[in-house]
Amino acid sequence: MGEVLRGCVLPDTFYPVENLCDYLDFGSQRSYRKGEAVLLPDEVLGKIIFVLSGRLKVSTITPDGREKFIYSAGQYCLMDRLFSFEEDHILIIAVEDSKVCFFTKEQLLMVFKQDEELIIDVLRNFASKVYYFLNQTNELNLYSPSARILRLLYELYKSKGKYKNNTWEINIYLPNKGISEITGLHFVTVSKIFGYLKRQKILKKTKTKIIIYDVERLKSLIDEGITY
DNA sequence: CCATTAAAGGTGC
DNA sequence: GCACCTTTAATGG
């Protein structure tokens, strides 16, 4: 009797392990100010990072020294830094004032002795993350840039869309910059695509929500492609 | 079709 | 007054 789960649409937190909050005494807590680095590139930590509040951003440093976004970690997200890989070039910074709790391998084992169910939660956190990036590689390989952004919007509609006076509303704070980072499109291109979708009266994006007027057009555009 | 660059317009602290 | 995001236009692969 397996359980069928819905995958994450956005690279954010993936699966919050809230129950780990009961065992914070086993780990060590620390606060970070906005902009402060939690993990520097190639730093060996040997601990699990558990986000208690705020938000961390995980990115890689490219060979030309630029930051490439990977995922965002909100409350109760678990980030594995128990193991270190050679030249990972991974940077974790607090994008808000944040509080985190670290667990070493020994501390984690003590927690698991108290609560075996948590092992499954941790596994599920890993599974969610792996599944997301599995899909992400397919997305990058199978679809054109503009199709990826349309598909993202369609997935958001399916998972978060609410029907409201003849339109579908997605309540979400998702700047163009973020969409650009997730889909791999240039931020200027993202802006142009939203301009097109608005002119075509397919959808409109505001600061806190995306309002879809024509779901069918959005869906069909994925295959047709966009002519600006 | 999309990235890049530059420049100007917005917003919020 | 500055940092950060968005838009628009131009150019080129």
For residues A132 and A29, membership in a common domain is answered with: yes
A187 in contact with nucleic chain C (CB within 7 A): yes
Q: CATH number for the domain including A195?
A: 1.10.10.10
For residues A104 and A149, membership in a common domain is answered with: no
For residues A128 and A33, membership in a common domain is answered with: yes
**Tens of pLDDT, residues A177-187:** 999 999 999 99
Nearest to A68 by CA among A54, A52, A88, A83: A88
Structural domain range at position A92: 18-140
Average pLDDT, chain A: 95
Find which nucleotide's C1' atom is closest to A195's CA. Answer: C7
Length of chain A in residues, anyone? Answer: 228
**Cβ neighbourhood burial of A116 (10 Å; 0-12, 13-18, 19+):** exposed
Residue A167 domain-assigned (yes or no):
yes
For residues A90 and A148, membership in a common domain is answered with: no
**Tens of pLDDT, residues A145-187:** 999 999 999 999 999 999 998 999 999 999 999 999 999 999 9
Strand ranges across the sheet with A90-94 = A37-39, A90-94, A56-61, A67-73
For residues A35 and A116, membership in a common domain is answered with: yes
For residues A168 and A192, membership in a common domain is answered with: yes
Query: Which residue gives the smallest C-alpha to C1' distance to B2?
Result: A189
For residues A27 and A39, membership in a common domain is answered with: yes
